[in-house]
Structure 1
Amino acid sequence: MIELLEVRPDDLGGGDLAPGVLVLLRDAFPEDGPNEGDYYRAVGAPEIALILRDGPMVVGHLGLYAREVKIGSANVEIGMLGGIAVAPDRRRNGYSRLLVRRAHEHLAKRQIAFSILFAYEPRIYQGSGYRLMQNATHFIEPDGTPNTLVYRGSMYAELTRDGQINCSICAAARCEQQTSKVSSWR
């Protein structure tokens, strides 16, 4: 029976999930080898890790992050999904979609209107509302350093249409709306 768990990365520490998460992410993202297969060390720990477990086996993972970006002249908090992985023998069962849907529920609670992800296979995420973007993404790293990324696998999804942000990321440079302050998860 598949179980969906929501954990903070600090809670993975000595538990029975950590080794399974490490193996799943190491196998899914072998390019993080210089970090000894530690995906979190390479990209930073997410605010929440969504984990699919079948008995003792970790079969799926999604890291949920929040980042501040500039849209036009407005600073806006967006969601960022990373480390989305499903064990090869469990693919094509809707598990990625399940993980993405749960992440979207978390973002909606925070009134975060947009989510981005970086996809090796964009077609997988189109069914969850993601569209390809070709423009530069400017963001602030967790340590406060500004960064810019142009990545052909970048995808975005508009999560809400509540009037706070009603433009698409593709037209973001023209968007001058201010958003309401988002409360913290913690």
Structure 2
Amino acid sequence: MYTVRRLAAGELRDSAGPLAELLVDTVGSGSSLGFLAPLDAAEAAGWWRALAPDVAAGRLLVWAAHHDADHRIAGTVQLRPATPANGRHRAEVAKLMVHRADRGRGLAGRLLTALESAAVEHGIRTLVLDTETGSPAERLYAAAGWTRVGTVPDYATDPSGTPHATTVFYKALPAEPAAGADVRPGRDKL
């Protein structure tokens, strides 16, 4: 079982090492997420720590899934709300990662569910994301009710530097939280 919780800025800084291990594992398994392989753990930890000011300011929301048995971080996802006055109803989903040892257990879907519930609570009605075309992530988003917009050829590279097409998705969310939803930080027990 896993516990999914939204991280405060201090928790993000304190978790930079374990989050770096997850990022290194994810890049090492073929998902670039904006990084090239091999990814140095110290560089990855520094990248996580650098996100703390955005988390503190509410410009970025980050969830971590902890494995209940050993408390390690098994997955994470980010939500970046739009800042323009005419776009505060939308946000970008980024950096969905699940450690190789935890894949195939529904954890990515659980992270997305926690993120989507919190997005609704924050008045966000439209989510967007992009992912490598043909990847397992593309199939995950389609199965989770996301709508495929199209592809952009050679948009990003894989960890080895080879360009690949990217698929863009969006998801329309309900205007109100589901009855009984509790999306406060630390309340997403799954």
Interval containing the TM-score (normalised by the shorter chain):
0.5 to 0.7
Q: Residue 102 of structure 2 corresponds to which residue in structure 1?
A: 90
Q: Which amino acid aligns with 1:50?
A: W
Q: 1:11 to 1:89 in 2, by over 3 A?
A: closer
Match of 1:48 in 2: 61
SS in 2 for 1:111: coil
TM-score, with structure 2 as normaliser: 0.63
Secondary structure at 1:153's aligned position in 2?
strand
Which structure's relative contact order is higher, taking Cα pairs within 8 Å and 6+ residues apart? 2
Helix, strand or coil at the partner of 1:56: coil
Shift of residue 135, structure 1, vs aligned partner: 8.1
DSSP 3-state at the match of 1:13: helix
* Residues 101 and 128 in structure 1, CA contact (< 8 A), matched pair in contact too: no
Matches of 2:110 and 2:20, distance apart in 1: 20
Counterpart secondary structure, 1:75: helix
Give the number of the structure whose residues are more often helix, by fraction: 2
Residue number in structure 1 paired with 2:43: 36
Question: Which of 135, 139, 144 is matched with 1:123 structurally?
Answer: 139
Aligned to 1:25: 23
Equivalents in 2 of 1:80, 1:111: separation in Å?
Answer: 14
Give the Å deviation of 1:42: 8.4
SS at match of 2:44: coil
For the Cα contact (< 8 Å) 1:114–1:160, is it kept in 2? no
Q: 1:112 aligns with which of 106, 111, 124?
A: 124
Identity of aligned residues (%): 17
Distance (Å, rounded) in 1 between the aligned partners of 2:66 and 2:25: 16
The equivalent residue for 2:174 is: 160
Distance 1:159 1:89 in 2: 31
Q: What is the Cα deviation at residue 100 of structure 1?
A: 0.5
2:123 alignment partner, SS class: coil
What is the CA-CA distance between 1:23 and the residue it aligns to?
A: 1.1
Matched, 1:76 2:87: yes
Q: What's the CA shift string for 1:2-49, capped at 9, x where partnerless?
A: 2212112443223xx331111101332352549922544788855221
Distance 2:143 2:8 in 1: 27
1:60 shift after superposition: 0.5
Name stretches of at least 5 consecutive residues in structure 1 with no aligned partner.
Answer: 137-150, 163-186
- Would you say how many aligned residue pairs link Structure 1 and Structure 2? 142
Q: TM-score, normalised by structure 1?
A: 0.64
- Hey, what's the Cα distance between the residues in 1 that align with 2:144 and 2:125? 15
Partners in 2 of 1:153 and 1:126 — Cα distance? 11
- One-letter amino acid matched to 1:5: R
Gaps of 5+ in 2: 153-164, 177-190
Give the equivalent residue in structure 2 for 1:7: 7
35-44 or 53-62, which moves further after superposition? 35-44
Amino acid at match of 2:144: S
Give, in whole Å, the separation in 1 of the partners of 2:9 and 2:98: 18
